[in-house]
Structure 1
Amino acid sequence: MTASDPQVTIERWSRDDLPLLEWANTPEMTRHLGGPETPDEIDRRHARYLVSWESGDAEMYRIEVGGRPAGGIGFWEVEHNGAPAYEAGWNVLPEAQGRGVATDALRLLIAHVRRRGDRSLLVAYPWAENAASSALCRRAGFEHRGSSTGPWRGAEATFENWVLDMSPQESAGREPDVDERFETLDRARWWPFYTPHWSSRERSAARFTTGPHGLALRIDEDTPPWAPDLDGDLRVSHLQTGQYSGPPGSGVGQHRFRDGLVVREPQPEWRLWLAQHGTIEVRMAAIRHPDAMTAFWPIGFEDAPDDCGEICIAEIFGSEIDDDGGWVGVGVKPQNDPRLRADFEKIRVEGDLTAMHDYAVEWEADRLRFFIDGRWVKTVAQRIDYPVQLMLDVYEFPRSDGARDVSALPHVLRVEHVRTTPAS
């Protein structure tokens, strides 16, 4: 989808949606399903979609783009290799194809399955010839588990087996190698400056307290913009667990957030607390204020220029917190790593996000599974295979009129702990 495309939604299948099945029942649309069905078969399918909502063993939805019907999507109970699962299926009408509609609709469907919470596997079995559906599964975080051949409408067909593992976070019997509680700030782990090579240690220095209740990172009334000519009036209070940059005047440095950056102040090289695979987690409380954002986002140490991808474990804008919950951004951002593609989305979380919540990633060789309060929320099926440093911060964004809400200051990010656990 592009910024100009209308919003994709999925709505409960209704009695008025029979024409959608008829529009999709063409030779072109059914070429990977064994061909069109008869009118009686279409009527029976429509009836099953309606009845399934009452029985609770399936949920079928109408895909809409800007309020106009664009296809269908749903899930139903199956067994996969003897384990209970839901199977997903979908179709998108030709006029809505090639615009990311299926991708958005599948993500919305996954959110429904996640909230239902009664089965930890979601599977899809597209025909082997259906490369577009397999690509969609891959983008949505499904893992390819081989292929199989079986009967289909009186003939044999070969299916690709795609599996999305939605099981909760596994922590039993695994001990962290580092369990940071912030009773003090351990300078053997933390560098209290925000990428100071692009600015200076003076401007990017963190404001914080530590103690028995953990860390409090704060932005005060007199916190200066960290790099005003590069990033406007953005203010940051930040800790990171590594530092790497080149000589003054070079473009070598971590988190190249815009073109044309040059190192202004030379920095030491610190390899303090780097992780590579395993579990990374934080317990923290967000800030409900429209100018504030809190985040925990490990990035590549970047001693090699391409090793710079971001694993966003939690990104929470204060403007996206409400009385009932809020939105938490999770996923992978390539930054400047050409081997990665952006796979980031915002997950709705019910409850008070200004209270303590747990955010984590299980990072394996070829996938990353993200969790909030121990519950699975997203899988990214990509490979990141280099050390990352931890990035923990609170931002205050400038307003268009230049004003600041000083009555709300300080903005304080509270953190109980940060942990890393090696891969088993």
Structure 2
Amino acid sequence: MVGMDVTLHRWSEGDLPVLERANTPEMTRYLGGPESDEQVLERHERYLRLGSTGEAHMFRVDVDGVPAGGIGYWQTDHDGVDAFETGWEIEPHWQGRGVAREALRQLIRLVAVDGSRSLLVAYPGVDNPGSNALCRGAGFVRTGSGTMPWRGGELAFHTWVLDMSPLDLAGREPDVDERFDSLDPGRWWPFYNPHWSSRADAAARWSIGTAGLELRIDEDTSPWAPAIDGDIRVAHVQTGQFSGPLGSGIGQHRFRPGLVVAEEQPEHRGWLVHGGVIEVRLAAIAHADAMVAFWPIGFEERPDDCGEICIAEIFGSEIDADGGLVGVGVKPQNDPRLTTDFEKIRVDGDLTVMHDYAVEWMPGHLRFFIDGRWVKTVAQAIDYPVQFMLDVYEFARSDGSRDLAALPHVLRVEWVRTFAPLTPPR
């Protein structure tokens, strides 16, 4: 995908050659073989007709302005539920280069904006490894298999479902509803990974304001660990602490190789969660040097149990007058069982006022939400307790300067709450 620009364009009269190039034995080997010229023309006309009525939304996929295939979604019924079905074809020259993955990512964003149906389904053939892997990578959950008549024969398929419904907390009570009347020491540890630095250098500057917790970086805030992280300044609270003896490499958030414990820390088991819903209400900071984040990570008693669930990561440099980008997803850190599945979601509106960011964590997959609206699903399993990491960063400029007039940078957090899983973890 490096250096390639993938774009979707509404299907038009001139796009018949895209279907003709897709009608080859190689391109249709999982679909029962090529269609006749008349059938291809009828398909093209159907795309145009259903597109004009809004029953289908078909697109030509271009790479750097060159047609490379097609993708779309259309109305269907899935087990009695109104849904959209999706399908695609990418020409051989572009296969294996991330084009289909990016096209499907863009299409999912369009379905989310459409909002008229909250279920997206796909039915790739069981013998089509590329399309099945594409569904899995895009967050679809495989729910079954079946067969159906197809082009004079029978097609065996897998059923993949992407649930894009809003966050539903009706009838559920939070097991913890932290409103920050104080900073409860039984839950919170007001230091940023102090084992790699020291509690003195990593201590948070915080206060309780009218809206809840305030984490701040001031003019006299020092870098938290200059020997290993340069001039980065942090104000941070977390809900757990686990690290090993002095000089060992045992400790949470091993953000680079070769870290060793610089100051031994007591173990702190504050607010640890394993599944369910995790939700935060916070306001971002619109300054190019600042970033705010809320990311649960594995408590890391076992070294591999260290994955990150990024519920919100917002860089001030990515906020503009109309909205901004919010990073969500999963980062493996050092968990070999996970792969990076992280995406920056465009959100309209003022991100410097309070918004809700949440994850619904279920066995085998996680669904992410902004203001209750679904934005992403990651189909990976995280099966260990996590602690919360809540922070504001000030990043160093290349020339070493700071915008002192903009300080303090203040992260405001109204609340954090959790709901027990409907399906208990294994």
**What is the distance in 2 between the residues matched to 1:29 and 1:358?**
44
In the TM superposition, residue 75 of structure 1 has moved relative to its aligned partner by 0.2
User: Match for residue 90 of structure 2?
Assistant: 92
Matched, 1:149 2:177: no
CA shift, 1:400, in A, is 1.0
> Residues 405-416 of structure 1: matches in 2 within 5 Å?
405-416=403-414
Structure 1 partner of 2:198: 200
Distance in 2 separating the partners of 1:354 and 1:258: 31
Greater shift after overlay, 63-72 or 391-400?
Answer: 63-72
Counterpart of 1:164 (choices 162, 165, 172) is: 162
1:243: which partner in 2? 241
Q: 2:277 aligns with which of 271, 276, 279?
A: 279
2:309 to 308, 311, 314: 311
**Structure 2 CA distance for aligned equivalents of residues 301 and 245 of structure 1:** 10
Structure 1 residue 212: Cα displacement: 3.8
Q: Distance in 1 between matches of 2:63 and 2:412?
A: 40
CA contact (8 A) 1:278 1:362 kept: yes
Classify the secondary structure of the residue corresponding to 1:203: helix
**Is the 8 Å Cα contact of residues 247 and 261 (structure 2) preserved in structure 1?**
yes
Q: Per-residue deviation at 1:82? A: 0.7
Paired amino acid for 1:237: A
| Partner in structure 2 of residue 337 of structure 1 | 335
**1:281-332: CA deviation from partner (whole Å, max 9, x where unpaired):** 0000111111111100000000100000000000111111111111111010
- In the TM superposition, what is the alpha-carbon distance from 1:334 to its structure 2 partner? 0.3
| Partner Cα separation in structure 1 for residue 199 and residue 390 of structure 2 | 17
What is the alpha-carbon distance in structure 1 between the residues aligned to residue 103 and residue 180 of structure 2? Answer: 42
Q: Which amino acid aligns with 1:255?
A: H
3-state secondary structure, aligned to 2:320 = coil
2:110 equivalent to 1:116: no
* Residue aligning to 1:135: 133
Local SS of the residue matching 1:420: strand
Tell me the residue number matched to 1:7.
5
SS in structure 2 at match of 1:210: strand
TM superposition shift of 1:52: 2.4
Task: Tell whether the 8 Å contact from 1:120 to 1:167 is kept in structure 2 after alignment.
Answer: yes
Question: RMSD of the alignment, in Å?
Answer: 1.0
Verify: 1:56 aligned to 2:54, yes or no: yes
Letter in 2 for 1:350: D
* Aligned residue type for 1:97: Q
Match of 1:88, SS state, is: strand
Report the counterpart of residue 176 of structure 2 in structure 1: 178
Distance 1:290 1:17 in 2: 43
Q: Secondary structure at the match of 1:164?
A: strand
**C-alpha contact 1:169 1:375 (8 A) present in aligned 2:** yes
* Cα offsets for 1:116-154 (capped at 9, x unmatched): 111111000011111111111011111111111111122
Matched letter for residue 236 of structure 1: V
For residues 223-302 of structure 1, the aligned pairs below 5 Å read 223-302=221-300
Is contact 2:197–2:225 with CA below 8 Å preserved after alignment?
yes
Q: How does 1:381-420 map to 2 (within 5 A)?
A: 381-420=379-418
Q: Which moved more, 1:413-422 or 1:18-27?
A: 18-27
Deviation string for 1:243-286 (max 9, x for gaps)? 00001100000000000000001111000100000110000011
* Deviation readout 1:308-359 (Å, 9 max, x if unpaired): 0000000111111111111111010000000111111111111111111100
Aligned partners of 2:65 and 2:259: how far apart in 1?
A: 43
Which of the numbers 369, 385, 395 marks the counterpart of 2:367? 369
Displacement after TM superposition at 1:211 (Å):
3.7
Render the CA deviation track for 1:95-127: whole Å, top value 9, x for unaligned.
111111111111110000001111111000011
Measure the CA separation in 1 of the matches of 2:7 and 2:233.
36
SS at match of 1:87: strand
Out of 69-78 and 13-22, give the one that drifted further.
13-22
Given that 1:208 and 1:218 are in contact with CA atoms closer than 8 Å, whether structure 2 keeps it comes out as yes
CA distance in 2, matches of 1:226, 1:30: 57
Distance 1:376 1:26 in 2: 38
In the alignment, structure 1 residue 106 sits paired with structure 2 residue 104: yes
Contact 2:31 2:155 in 1 (8 A): no
- Shift of the alpha carbon at 1:183? 1.4
1:363 maps to a residue whose letter is W
1:422 alignment partner AA: A
Amino acid at match of 1:8: V
Match of 1:65 in 2: 63
Aligned residue for 2:51, secondary structure, equals helix
Q: Secondary structure at the match of 1:354?
A: coil
1:322 aligns with 2:344: no
Matching of residues 17-36 of structure 1 within 5 Å: 17-36=15-34
Distance 1:350 1:53 in 2: 27
1: CA distance between counterparts of 2:209 and 2:179? 8
- When structure 1 is superposed on structure 2, of 245-254 and 19-28 the one drifting more is 19-28
What is the deviation of 1:199? 0.7
Aligned to 1:219: 217
Name the counterpart of 1:37: 35
How far apart in 2 are the matches of 1:229 and 1:251? 16
Letter aligned with residue 408 of structure 1? A
SS state at 1:371 partner: strand
Contact 1:184/1:211, CA 8 A, preserved across alignment: no
Question: What's the CA shift for 1:202?
Answer: 1.3
SS at match of 2:107: helix
Paired AA for residue 317 in structure 1: F
What is the rounded CA distance, in whole Å, between the counterparts of 1:74 and 1:178 in structure 2?
42
Distance (whole Å) between structure 2 residues aligned to residue 282 and residue 68 of structure 1: 43
Scaled by the length of structure 1, what TM-score is found?
0.98
